[in-house]
Amino acid sequence: MTKNYETVFILTPVLSDSQMKDAVEKFKKILTDNGGTVTNEENWGLKKLAYEIQHKTTGFYQLLEFSAEPTSIAALETEFKRDEKVMRFLTTVLDKHALAYNEKRKSGAFNKKDKEAAA
């Protein structure tokens, strides 16, 4: 039974643009090899961390939304733990309310700038 998930992971800031993209592609490939499908991918860019992780104060944030079997999550998280480029990660199961919220967010329903321009 496939479930919907989202994973946010932080990559080390010392990576080049191509190294960062390669790392993301590697994780997407792990998901698709285990029968999952990636429904959304977002690069949030270089952000300041709330606290130091591995003596670093910034990191590249990535978001992956996907549907997969629960067993494939173990394979993905094992690879996150093995990869030295990943500083932190968090995978959560999305319920129907979270899916609806994500759809609204992706369509721009929460964009304050658009609402202010319309007023």
Could you report how far apart the first and last alpha carbons of the chain are, in Å? 45
At 116 the pLDDT is 56
Q: How many CB atoms lie within 10 A of CB 54?
A: 9
Give me the helices (H) in 1-119, please: 17-33, 70-82, 96-107, 112-118
At 37 the pLDDT is 92
At 100 the pLDDT is 84
Range 3-118: architecture per CATH: 2-Layer Sandwich (3.30)
For residue 108, CA distances in Å to 44, 67, 102 come to 16, 22, 10
Helix/strand/coil percentages in the chain, nearest 5: 40, 40, 20
Q: Where are the chain's structural domains?
A: 3-118
> Tens-digit pLDDT profile for the chain (119 aa)?
888 999 999 999 999 999 999 999 999 999 999 988 999 999 999 999 999 999 999 999 999 999 999 888 999 999 999 999 999 999 999 988 888 888 888 887 777 665 555 55
Q: Is 23 helix (H, G, I), strand (E, B) or coil?
A: helix
